[in-house]
Structures are given as structure tokens and as C-alpha cells.
Structure 1
Amino acid sequence: MIFEENDEKYSVYLSMTRSKDYILLSNMSNITSEISYIRSDDRSGVFKAISKRIEGVEYYVDYSNGYFYVLTNRNAVNFKVLRMKENQNLDKAEVFLNKSDTITIEGIDCFKDYISVYERIKGIKNLRVISMKDNKSRYFDFKESNYTFYPYSNSTFDTDKIRINFMSLKTPSTTIDINMSDFTTEVKKRQNVKKYNSDDYVTEYIFAKSHDGKEIPISLVYSKKIDRNKPNPLLMDGYGAYGSTSDPYFSSSKVSLLDRGVIFAIAHIRGGADMGRGWYEDGKLLNKKNTFLDFISCAEHLIEAGYTSKDNLIITGGSAGGLLIGAVLNMRPDLFKGAVVNVPFVDVINTMLDSTLPLTVGEFDEWGDPANENFFKYMIGYSPYDNVKKADYPAILI
């Protein structure tokens, strides 16, 4: 046996660097990382840790041209990138990309001559390419104001091209090869949606002020044919947990709604990392109620701004997003016409008190341990199952 993990909060992964020089052994919990390496031609089976695990410190590793590139949140809420040689102590590593209060570094991919950096600025994803030859960097222009993209595995090390999947609320999924040397592009595949023209739709990126003054982003899409001088039917989606981002994705199934005059909205509430790591920290554990209050504020803003009305507003969410919907329905049942909840997590206390369930212990970092009195009092204050009351609730589809 090479390795055994005894802490049930951690999962273990084995991978190889793109250069094929090293094998990486990654131990990950929701908030902590420990990654060890061994040369791919080393048969000893002895891995060396980049850095021993420190509670709350995450890091991710790639390799190119004699250096490990380490993306970490240690002393950097929105992450930074360090560079170190093999057998060097991470504390002695040089800073390759420094931390920022306004830019979140979500990931990196190392190639022979380039490093691609995936950043988020004011909630919008950006692709930055750094040349290994001169250390100069450039940002790719996606030609839209509100969009998302996801890099493919891009397993070839010695290449000038990076492949991504691009989409927006109105642009179907498009696979693009980008030449990192000159940013020329080649579309390899585009999702085919019959009789669909993206020019017939409008996207917006607006902000709602929450209870504590935070500006909460909202992504919107609707048909150009709707009358914006009156309230319209609106479906608002939310999640807000685990630091997951709710990116503006394209959904062909939403087109029929748009064509029938429905506005679709995504509330980028705290608990996700849409506006950086601090956005996540402000919506978990003893800050969890910010998630629900943000969502309510988004709904109120959309009504006040004339996009919709209480009688036209439907909300939806799944899993942890189902907890969100359950909580806001208990808090403001008067604000919505209806709700669609998918596999909702609504019995928070009983679930989190049962440590025999396979996911419970690992979830303590997200919701808290109700065996602790402070967490119990806070969690039972929003747990949907425990806060159902006699009220005029809107229609609910589960």
C-alpha cells in the first residue's frame, strides 16, 4: 500500500502533471488540501508533500520547465500563485502572481511555453495567458459582457493551443481552440438549436443592494419582443453554497420560456464564490443567513425595477439551492407566486446530527456541527423543515 487516508473528511485523487514529469497524490476536504509528488520514473513509491495540510488552506499544483506552480489561498483570500523548485520549501517559494482584493484566481494550466490563468473580476470570468518566454500576459476578448467558459483537460503539454467551452445566457455552448501566441481562434463545435437566433435576445448584468449594503449581481436574459414597460413573468434561480459559482450558462430548454415572454434570472448570492472567496465566507456557517437575505433582496430589486411583480415571480433551486428556496419561502412567503425545488436539502438539523450518513462529517465545514450549541441555535433558525409556519405560502413544486 502506498497511502491510506484515515480522516473521513478527505478524498484522495491520483493524477499526473501535463508534462508527464510527476505523479500527484491529492488529499482534499472542502476547505483543506495536501498534495504530494513523486517523479513519474521513480519506483520507490515515496511521495513528498508540497506542503503539509493546514486547516483552511487550499492549494493546487501544476508543473512546467523545472518549477511547480502552486495556486493557494494561504494568506491570500482570493488566491495567489507561488513558484518553487523540486525539494524546495513552499515557505521559500517566489510569488509568481500576487494576491488581489479585486481579482480571484480560480485556476491555472501550465504548458511548455505558456500558462493560462482563469480569473474572476467583478463576477465575470477572464482568460489570461502568460508567455514563459518573456513573462508578458494578455487577456482574451470574448466579445460579450456576461458569459462563462470552461477549459477542457488540454492534456497536450507542448502546444500553442488551448481548448475551451464558451457560452452565455443567449449564446449556445461553443467549443473554441485559442492560439495562445496570437489569440486567433477556431470554432470546433457549436451546439445546434433549431430556429434559434441569439440576436433575438438581450442579456443584462445588474446589481441589487442587500440588507447590509452589499451589491449582489444578477444575470438576466429575455426576448427583445417583451414589453419592458410592464412587469413580466420571471424565473429566478439561486444556489449560494460550497463556494460554487452560478455562471451564466446557456440552456436550450429555457428558450421556449424566453419566447413566451418569461425573463430568466440568476442571483449570484453569497455562499457561492461569484465575487471572490470572501463572497463564499460571507455565506457559510454563522453567516449563512446572508445567502437567503441576498436572494430576497434580488427579488425585491427585480420587482422595484419593473422587471416583474410578486404575482409573476417564480423561484427555483436544487439541493443546497433547495435549502435556499425553502428558507426564503419561510422568511417571505408573500414575495413569490410559486417555487420549484429540486432534491431540496430541507431537514438540516436531523441530517447534520447523524454522523453515520456518508456526507455529514465533511459538511461540518459548510454548515457547522449542530452538536455545538452556537451552531445548533443558528442552524435551527433557518432550517426549512423546522421553520414551516401557518402562512399563505405560494404554490410549490417539489
Structure 2
Amino acid sequence: MSTPAPPVAPARPITRTHHGDEVVDRYEWLRAKEDADVVAHLEAENAYTAQRTAHLAGLRERIFGEIRSRTLETDLSVPTRQGDWWYYGRTVEGQQYGIHCRAPLASPDDWTPPVLTPGEPVAGEVVLLDGNTEAAGHEFFSLGSFDVSTDGGRLLYGVDVEGDERYTLRIRDLATGADLPDTVENTSSGACFSPDGRYVVYTTVDEAWRPDTVWLHEVGTDADADVRLFHEPDDRFWVGAGFTRSEKYLVIEVGSSITTEEYLVPASDLRAEPRSIWPRREGVEYSATHAVVGGEDVLYVLHNEGALDFELVRVAAADPGGAREVVLAHEPGRRLLDVSAFRDWAVVSYRREGLARMGILDYASGRVDELAFDEDLYTAGASGNPEWAPPVVRLGYGSFITPGTVYDYVVATGEFLLRKRQPVLGGYDPADYAQRREWATASDGTRVPVSLVWKRSFGDPGDGAAHPVHLYGYGSYEHSIEPGFSVARLSLLDRGVVFAIAHVRGGGELGRQWYEDGKLQHKRNTFTDFVAVAQHLVDAGVTTPSLLVAEGGSAGGLLMGAVANLAPELFAGILADVPFVDALTTILDPSLPLTVIEWDEWGDPLHDAEVYAYMKSYSPYENVREGVRYPRILAVTSLNDTRVYYVEPAKWVARLREVGADALLKCEMAAGHGGVSGRYNAWHQRAFELAWLLDVLGLAEG
């Protein structure tokens, strides 16, 4: 059977000139999203991809079936206490979206969440919002805000049905189940009620999709009467707002990638002038949380002023610019990440030796007692703790081989109370799998951590036999790739594939310097680190280039495009999800979403010729090579993505085909940056990607 011919995007040259450099771009016309020719081309790409992957239909269905058969489809989350209620979520077999529910406390002293049985009714249950009902008639559905008033009487929720991350806010009366007339269009995510429930605080975005304004909406009034609380005119900064756990202050945060400033507004007087905690200084980042110590209102402030890996200080809330008491001094190699204050103690989150860790901060002594876990590789963090004075901390835990686990940690005794471990059906046994961390050496001698997970029955990676390997990477924004569990990944591990993560520079795994060494004019380290990890796996006998497939998404998609150009011979295939592969074109255009904010991460090529030249030297679309054999490439994108436009992978694939590469493009026509919505749709999408990956590895019959 002959291979179908791929779509050919017509060349419609557009010339751009910056810093005396003239570039002819033959495919920039694909940016015209509403153009019928563009839509027709994307549909042709989808049809071609469907043809080229038609032989994988059976494998896709098997993988989808495996994901589904391992998942307890009718399930409930562990209830979280807030006010007089336990809040939890339901999933129901056959339904795409979760159902948000609550049930009353047994008594005011009840801190033990009820044990809920899937499929069985819960006494006193109230359905707050059924995602399946709200999504009816829409191809896409996403919640961007979800908050219940302190008195439990009203629900605030924000809905996006396009995938462009513009949310419509509505308010529901929970006594009647009816929505109030209040409607606020085109908001950002994260809206919330004021503690008294009288107001809603929300943010809106500018034309470049930058959250720039904080608004106050009085419940029961028209949105046209909403009051602007704060506006940030500087295009480099975004804004966000939320109330402290103590409910005493509204905190307005203004931030760029390298600079932050926070403002306090008394919750009792939301129209008061916002008061800056510390005036912004270029390159200084900080975040504050409110606590009451010895009867005094204080702020615990995490900052990096003269402290690369951050320092924690305590200041008076009434005079935050005054005397600073050092609580946790800067300690190189211990990257302080967050402090979350409760009435009697605080939870401190940090990274050390490549792992996320957490501890309990005693206000009186300033001592942090670190929580200990049994596995060498794991991820753990506090989550779902809305109450101000709980006796326990709710935390999530997991690893590559331990499914997601929920604990309540009793601060007074140090006891871990297991509340739930994600069920994995079909006889999953963690003992059948193994994980470890090893180290590769980069071209400049830097040691780069590599995480591995595999099924024991296929042998240990490095046992002398070459194993098929799925290598993942990201490496931007100080984002760390944690050792997390994945049900879908089992479909690879059970076929003998070793999963690996290259923890490259640009991420945050080894502290702030690890991030600094992979951004701006050091960005190439991200790419060469990934290549070094791939070469390490080959040199160590773990795999061979013909058995190695790489994957990355968004900024990790930039990584994929870069390594495809740098070392195409090292990979059999590259899977690029919503890939940022036309980075220079995007970062040159300040009218595009987030571009100006992104200059702190990538540099400003519009005004700086040196940055322009550096970005041009690595941007994947600009550097597709003639005369080399590229690995097979699958690029997945979404038409309505506002973070990485579909046009980037569309142009990249067209350019790759010019040099003879076997490149496929799959464009979701009703989705956003995170892909399709709905769990079954997401499983089908992942099954599509994994089937392609297994085909590249020669395991499509498995």
C-alpha cells in the first residue's frame, strides 16, 4: 500500500527585518486563523495524520482500554473540610467531567473525613456543580474559578467553552440551585469571594492576554458597576489576587519572571488604597503570608534579595518595610519555595538534592521539622487546606511507582493518617516496577540528573541489553518535573519501555542557579543537557538511537525542536506537544499573548541585537537543517491555544517536510493549551500519542 502524499502548504513569502537581518518566512501566512485557506490546510493535515496512523487504530483502542480498565471510573475524592461542610468530587463511569459535591460535618469538632464508597449515596449530599451538565452542547469545557462563600451559601464559578482561557463568571445560590443574574464575561482564572461573601474579586486580561486589572464586583449588581481595585500598566508584569487564609487581607500580587511586588488591602475595607509590602526592585522576588504570632499581626516573607535560593524573614504587618527578623537564613542548595501560614504553625516547602520537601515551621522557635518519606524518589506537598486552625495538614504524595496518595499529617504527634491511595485496577503491584536516579555529564562537565522507571521483568536498564526508552524533558521557568505516577505510562512500561526524565538546566530541580543556567543567554544549556542525557543512555547501554523517543510540551516542545536540529541521529522519534518551535517570531511581536512578559525568560530580541542573534541561533523553525535525516516527528497542537499558537507547529512541520522529514501534525480544532477537555477525550488523545510512540519503537504489535 502506497504512502499518501502529505499536504503542501503554499509558500507565500513574508519578509521581516530586525537589526539589519532580513528573514523571508514562507509560512507566516498560516497565522491567519480565520482564513479559510488556513483552516483547510489544518484539516488536510489532520486527514493526512489520520491516514498515516490508521494502522494504529487497534493499538490505540487497546491502550485506551488499558487506561480505562486500570481506572476506577466511578470514584470520589477525599473530602476537604471548609466551614460546616466536607467538600469532595465525584466521577461517574461513562461521564467526561467531575461532579462537585459537599456533605455536612457530623460536628464542629469533626476533623476526620467521612469514608465515601464509590457508587453509594452520601448522607446529606448536595451537588454544587455537575461538569457534565454544564458542558452539554459544548465540545470543550473548563473551569477557571471555583469558590464557595465562607458562609457556604453561594458558589462562584468561571467557565471556558472555547479553550482560550477567557472565563465567564456566574454565581449560584446553593439553597435553591439557581444562578443569580450576575454574569461577568472575559475574566481570567482564580476569582474568589470576599470573606463576608458580599463581593467577588476577579482579574481581567489585556489584548496581549496579560492579567493586568483587579476588579471588585458586588453580588447582585450589574458588572458595569464593578470597581477597579488595581491596574498594572507595565507590560512586563501580570497581576493576581486572593485572600489570606486568615481572611484578614486581600493580597494583590504583581509579578514578572524576575521581579514581584505585593499589596495588602484590609478585607474589612476592600475599597481602601492597596498598600505595598515592599516596593518593587528589579530582580527581587518575594511573597508574603499573614500569621498572628504572640497576638501580633505579622508577615512571613520569602525573598531572594541577596539570597539566590531565598531567605525567610518575619516583619510586622503594620510596618512591613521595617525591621526584618530572619527565620530561615539563605542556605545554598536549599531552594525555599513557599510558606503557607496557619494559626498555630506554617508549612514550608523547599527543594534539596533534587527533590521537593516540606516541613512544619514552629512560630516560637523558628525550627522546621521536615517530614520524612520512605522512597528515594518521590513528590510530596500540602494541598487542600483552606481552614485557618486545623489540627492536621492535608498533603499529597506519590512517586513513579506509588500511585497518588492523600495523607492527613497530625502536627502535634507527627502521625501520618492514610486517607486514600489512588486505586489502580487490574492487579497493579508497585513491587513489579523500579525507579532510580542517575547522572549524565553535560558538554561543559555539569552533572545532569536523570530519573528512570521500568518494569522489573524486562530487566534492569544498564544490564547490557538495549531497552526501548521514552525520554521526557522540559527545562524552563524553573519548573521541576517531579517523580509522579501515571496510569497511562503503565501501557509503555508493561511493553518493556523504560521511562526517563532528563532534569535539564532551565528547570528548578537543583535550585535557582540551575534555572539561571538554562535561561536567557544560557538557554542552549537546556538543549545540550538533553542531548547529553540521551547520549548517556546510549553510552551506558540502556538503549540505542533506534530505540529512543523523546517528548516535551510547550517550552519543552521548544526543547524537542532544538534537539531535533542538534542531534537528529540520537532519536528514532520526537513527540512535541503544543510546541514553542517558532520562538523568535513570537518573542519579536509584543502584540502576541505574553510576549513582553516572556522577555525576562528568553531575552528581548526586538530591542537587543545580541539577544536576537542568540535566539535565531537556536529557534527550531529557523534552524531546520538540510541534508540530515530527521527522526520521525509528531506535533500536536490546538487551534484555540492562546499560549503557544497552532501556527508554530504548523509552520515547523511545513519546513521539516521541505527537507524530507517524516513529520505529522495533529491539530485539535476545539481545545486549548492543555489539549482536549473531558477525561475520556484526554485518554483517547494520550492513547493516540502513545500508539504513535510505540510504532516508532517497533512495538506497535504489543
Normalised by the length of structure 2, the TM-score is 0.56
| Aligned pair partner of 2:311 in 64, 75, 80 | 80
Q: Which has the larger radius of gyration?
A: 2
Q: Match for residue 305 of structure 1?
A: 540
Q: Match for residue 30 of structure 1?
A: 257
Shift of 1:24: 1.1
Identity of aligned residues (%): 38
| Aligned pair partner of 1:172 in 391, 396, 403 | 403
Q: Match for residue 619 of structure 2?
A: 383
| Aligned pair partner of 1:393 in 627, 630, 640 | 630
1:250 aligns with 2:485: yes
Shift of 1:124: 0.8
1:7 aligns with 2:244: no
Which residue identity is paired with 1:30? S
For residues 78-119 of structure 1, what are the alpha-carbon distances to aligned partners after superposition, in whole Å with 9 as ceiling and x for unaligned? Answer: 111110002324363111111111111111111122111111
Shift of 1:8: 2.3
3-state SS of 2:439 partner:
strand
Shift of 1:134: 4.1
Partners of 2:605 and 2:386 in 1: how far apart?
43
3-state SS of 1:64 partner:
strand
> Does the 8 Å contact 2:244/2:250 carry over to 1?
yes
> Does the 8 Å contact 1:240/1:270 carry over to 2?
yes
> Does the 8 Å contact 1:113/1:133 carry over to 2?
no
1:54 aligns with 2:281: yes
1:200 aligns with 2:437: no
Greater displacement, 233-242 / 355-364: 355-364
Shift of 1:6: 0.9
Partners of 1:135 and 1:279 in 2: how far apart?
28
Which residue identity is paired with 1:244? H
1:141 aligns with 2:368: no
Q: Match for residue 340 of structure 2?
A: 109
Partners of 1:280 and 1:190 in 2: how far apart?
33
3-state SS of 2:488 partner:
helix
Which residue identity is paired with 2:301? V
Which residue identity is paired with 2:298? Y
| Aligned pair partner of 1:259 in 467, 475, 494 | 494
| Aligned pair partner of 1:226 in 458, 474, 484 | 458
Which residue identity is paired with 1:393? Y
Which residue identity is paired with 2:623? N
Which residue identity is paired with 1:205? R
| Aligned pair partner of 1:286 in 521, 532, 535 | 521
Which residue identity is paired with 2:615? M
> Does the 8 Å contact 1:9/1:29 carry over to 2?
yes
> Does the 8 Å contact 1:244/1:272 carry over to 2?
yes
> Does the 8 Å contact 2:327/2:366 carry over to 1?
no
Partners of 1:341 and 1:186 in 2: how far apart?
40
3-state SS of 2:229 partner:
coil
3-state SS of 1:203 partner:
strand
Q: Match for residue 215 of structure 1?
A: 447
Q: Match for residue 94 of structure 2?
A: none
Shift of 1:393: 0.8
Greater displacement, 70-79 / 14-23: 14-23
Q: Match for residue 571 of structure 2?
A: 336
> Does the 8 Å contact 1:327/1:383 carry over to 2?
yes
Partners of 2:590 and 2:597 in 1: how far apart?
9
Which residue identity is paired with 1:32? T
1:350 aligns with 2:582: no
Partners of 2:330 and 2:322 in 1: how far apart?
16
Which residue identity is paired with 1:71? L
3-state SS of 1:252 partner:
coil
> Does the 8 Å contact 1:32/1:53 carry over to 2?
yes
| Aligned pair partner of 1:90 in 321, 333, 351 | 321
Shift of 1:280: 0.7
RMSD, matched Cα: 1.4
Assess, with a 3 A threshold, how the Cα gap between structure 1 residues 90 and 278 changes in structure 2: closer, same or farther: farther
Which residue identity is paired with 2:248? D
For residues 145-168 of structure 1, what are the alpha-carbon distances to aligned partners after superposition, in whole Å with 9 as ceiling and x for unaligned? Answer: 111123214111112211111111
Partners of 1:62 and 1:363 in 2: how far apart?
27
Q: Match for residue 419 of structure 2?
A: 188
For residues 267-323 of structure 1, what are the alpha-carbon distances to aligned partners after superposition, in whole Å with 9 as ceiling and x for unaligned? Answer: 110111111011111000100000001101111111122221111111000111011
3-state SS of 1:301 partner:
helix
3-state SS of 1:90 partner:
coil
